[in-house]
């Protein structure tokens, strides 16, 4: 493909001619993890207030700081842990565990604190690199792709200082441009967070409404006109499945657990039976309710509202099909999201 004028190809992709690609080792004046050896503070040394002590649990996947998960240590312990004191505008990198690659930023709430061994601090020379730009770039797909390519997926996987120094970043030539980019991305982050809080609030309101409307009991007694039935009395579970006699060339649309997210069918893939995943077995029709029975943290439940021909889902779902004139799928589906309801007396 022909390169656009004013751009060049680098290790991190196509960037403007006046940008450069630099490793973290080249742009940071300090890269240090919180491995204190035998001096690492024990749980009984944590206090209700004092000097901030951060571990990976306090860094959210989108870079937000989870203040309620920050630990605190005494001034004396802080003075003993000289190796990895964090300063204002340091960037933090989760170097191991399930949240490897999460990036944090040191603001006034945690400046002059300490980090634990799961975190690495990165401190740039602010004469050449804007710290906010480093923070945003470390969160970007450019660096996260490098992290994922080296992450074995093992809980024991660890990015030491030498490995961290090798990450490559695209770098605008001026602090002014770096700052402008960082500010634009920060504004976008703030907008996303505001929408996330609004969505969370709406979900909580809906959850409260469901707990009230779908609860068959009031003041300990069954509401007038209500009856309580087992799911199997009003629906059929997994009524149709692909058997061994299916044509190997049968083409269908496949729903995996990852394709469903909290009530929404995000996508599906085109498959041929002969090469399809072995879990592709359950026949799905309009009005079916899919309930994820494995990896419950995904909340892979949804109601199929469209008439999609040749739709098949994973055996990781239970297909709940309402019996005609007995149960309405539009009513049955939200029951699976209504927590804290009395189902028995």
Residue 114: count other Cβ atoms within 10 Å of its Cβ: 27
Residue 50: count other Cβ atoms within 10 Å of its Cβ: 17
pLDDT for residue 156? 57
The residues, ordered by sequence, that sit 6+ positions from 166 with a Cβ below 8 Å of its Cβ are 23, 24, 25
Over 80: is that where the pLDDT of 78 sits?
yes
Buried b (16+ CB within 10 A) or exposed e, 216-254: beeeeeeeeeeeeeebeeebeeeeeeeeeeeeeeeebbb
Helix (H) or strand (E) holding 175: helix 175-213
pLDDT for residue 79? 87
Rounded distance, CA 253 to CA 291, Å? 18
pLDDT for residue 342? 45
pLDDT for residue 343? 43
Task: Report whether 168 contacts 27 (CB < 8 A).
Answer: no
pLDDT for residue 317? 93
Furthest-apart CA pair in the chain: how many Å? Answer: 75
Over 90: is that where the pLDDT of 163 sits?
yes
Task: Report whether 21 contacts 11 (CB < 8 A).
Answer: yes
- Backbone φ, ψ for residue 58 (5° rounding): -85, -5
What's the mean per-residue pLDDT of the chain? 88
pTM of the model: 0.64
With cut-offs at 50, 70 and 90, classify the pLDDT of residue 289. Answer: very high
State the DSSP code for 198: H
Task: Report whether 56 contacts 116 (CB < 8 A).
Answer: yes
Q: Which two tokens stand for residue 142?
A: 């450019």
Rounded distance, CA 150 to CA 93, Å? 15
285 or 335, which is more confident: 285
Task: Report whether 22 contacts 137 (CB < 8 A).
Answer: no
Q: Which residues pair with 222 in a beta bridge?
A: 217
CA torsion, points 76, 77, 83, 86, in degrees to nearest 10?
-90
Rounded distance, CA 69 to CA 52, Å? 10
pLDDT for residue 101? 92
pLDDT for residue 344? 40
Of 119-123, 263-267, 285-289, the range with the lowest mean pLDDT is: 263-267
With cut-offs at 50, 70 and 90, classify the pLDDT of residue 152. Answer: low
pLDDT tens, position by position, 205-262: 877 787 778 788 888 888 888 888 899 999 999 999 998 889 999 999 999 988 888 7
Over 70: is that where the pLDDT of 99 sits?
yes
State the DSSP code for 96: B
pLDDT for residue 212? 78
119 or 158, which is more confident: 119
- Tokens 């975190």, residue? 119
Chain mean position to CA 182:
22
294 or 75, which is more confident: 75
pLDDT tens, position by position, 264-282: 898 899 999 999 999 999 9
With cut-offs at 50, 70 and 90, classify the pLDDT of residue 38. Answer: low
């Amino acid at each position: 493909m022909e390169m656009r004028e004013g751009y060049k190809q680098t290790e991190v992709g196509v960037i403007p001619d006046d940008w450069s690609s630099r490793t973290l080792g080249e742009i940071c004046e300090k890269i240090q993890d919180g491995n204190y050896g035998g001096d690492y503070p024990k749980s009984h040394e944590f206090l209700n207030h004092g000097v901030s002590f951060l571990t990976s649990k306090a860094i959210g996947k989108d870079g937000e700081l989870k203040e309620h998960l920050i630990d605190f240590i005494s001034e004396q312990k802080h003075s003993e842990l000289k190796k990895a004191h964090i300063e204002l505008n340091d960037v933090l990198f989760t170097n191991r565990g399930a949240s490897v690659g999460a990036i944090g930023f040191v603001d006034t709430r945690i400046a002059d604190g300490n980090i634990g061994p799961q975190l690495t601090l990165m401190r740039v020379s602010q004469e050449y690199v804007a710290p906010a730009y480093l923070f945003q770039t470390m969160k970007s797909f450019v660096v996260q792709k490098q992290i994922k390519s080296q992450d074995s997926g093992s809980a024991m996987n660890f990015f030491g200082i030498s490995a961290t120094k090798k990450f490559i970043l695209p770098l605008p030539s001026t602090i002014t441009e770096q700052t402008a980019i960082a500010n634009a991305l920060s504004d976008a982050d703030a907008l996303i967070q505001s929408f996330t809080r609004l969505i969370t609030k709406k979900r909580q309101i809906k959850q409260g409404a469901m707990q009230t409307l779908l609860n068959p009991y009031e003041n300990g007694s069954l509401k007038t006109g209500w009856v309580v039935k087992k799911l199997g009395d009003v629906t059929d579970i997994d009524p149709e499945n692909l058997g061994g006699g299916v044509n190997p060339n049968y083409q269908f649309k496949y729903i995996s657990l990852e394709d469903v997210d909290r009530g929404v069918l995000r996508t599906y893939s085109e498959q041929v039976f002969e090469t399809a995943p072995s879990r592709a077995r359950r026949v799905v029709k309009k009005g079916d309710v899919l309930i994820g029975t494995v990896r419950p943290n995904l909340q892979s439940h949804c109601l199929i509202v469209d008439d999609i021909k040749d739709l098949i889902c994973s055996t990781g779902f239970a297909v709940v099909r309402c019996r005609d004139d007995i149960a309405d799928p539009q009513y049955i589906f939200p029951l699976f999201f209504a927590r804290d309801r009395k189902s028995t007396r």
